[in-house]
Amino acid sequence: MNQSKKDIRSLTKLQIEEFFTLKHKPKFRANQVYEWLWKHRVLDFNLMTSLSLDDRTLLHSTFSINSLTLHNYKTSLDGTVKFLFQLDQNKVVEGVLIPHLNRYTACISSQAGCSLACKFCATGKLKLYRNLSAGEIYDQVFLINEFTLRKFKKPITNIVYMGMGEPFLNSTNVLNSITHITSKQGLNISAKRITVSTAGIVKIIKRIADLSPKFNLAISLHSANDTIRTKIMEINKSNNLKDLALAIDYFYTKTKIKPTYEYILLNGVNDSTQDAKDLIAFCKKTPSKVNLIEYNQVSNTPYRKSSQSSTKIFMDLLEKNKILVKFRRSRGEDIGAACGQLATQNKK
């Protein structure tokens, strides 16, 4: 990463326009540069052939283009692909491609590591190394999409910010990455196909609601009981369920986008009939839907996945109470690519 020059991908299109204006250059040059950067992911100013040699030299002398690169990838027996992306010299982050029928979902990271330390999650054991830039987040999408086009002859269909890190603790870069991904001068992927998952940062949920986003919101809930949720998710100490419910309702009122509650079923922890009733009550506060998730084993934790019978009773109770619910089975567990397993343990 070049630290001596400013990364041009950290600038907005308006800021690039301002740069050219200050240099007595036409504003439309900014549109050209923006497309080279975000539609084509050109990482060398010399390859921006619609610009004059003088303009390319000016850009090269002023800016750098920082990016991440694909380190390697592994394919699961079920077809899930885990990617390791090189950041700094000794750091990688992970992304995942989940192919299912005609759906190709890219699961991407927003931070290297994570500061939240949820008890059941491998990523939380890493601690936080740093936030990813908007460009580094975008790069994951671009590179996974290139892989999907080569392997399946089709582009990715969906993007979920559910990889390493808490997206709303890196909200500026996450929102900027979504701008580049959805822009017609970028990847032109509809925001309706993007889901951002948060453990529930109340003030950021409200702040983003005021921006009228078009992407989907997922909440890593995992319990609708404050005592249980605090035991497994420390974030609940500062963002309790009452405040979280109010923030989610505010988001829905502003956007009319139904939140999805992600709920990992943990044997003997949050999978009782009472837990289901608590979740039903929470869901009825705001129009919503639920993804029940099969737990993926993480080493050095006491947690186990719920039994089939407990899972069925839990799900049936939700359905009887008119809660829209889906069950997500584990994918990519054999290569450490499943939900909660991303811990960059395979850097070879």
Task: Just list the catalytic residues.
Answer: 94, 339
The full DSSP string for 53-98 is: HHHHHHHHHHEE----EEEEEEE-TTS-EEEEEE-STT-EEEEEEE
Residues 6+ apart with CB under 8 A from 74: 81, 82, 335, 337, 346
Q: Which of 97, 107, 192 is nearest to 154 (CA)?
A: 97
Task: Tell me which H or E stretch contains 310.
Answer: helix 308-320
CB crowding 28-58: b at 16 or more within 10 Å, else e:
ebbebbbbbbbbebbbebeebeebeeebbeb
85-88 long-range contacts, Cβ below 8 Å, gap at least 24? 85/136, 85/139, 85/140, 85/143, 87/112, 87/132, 87/136, 88/1
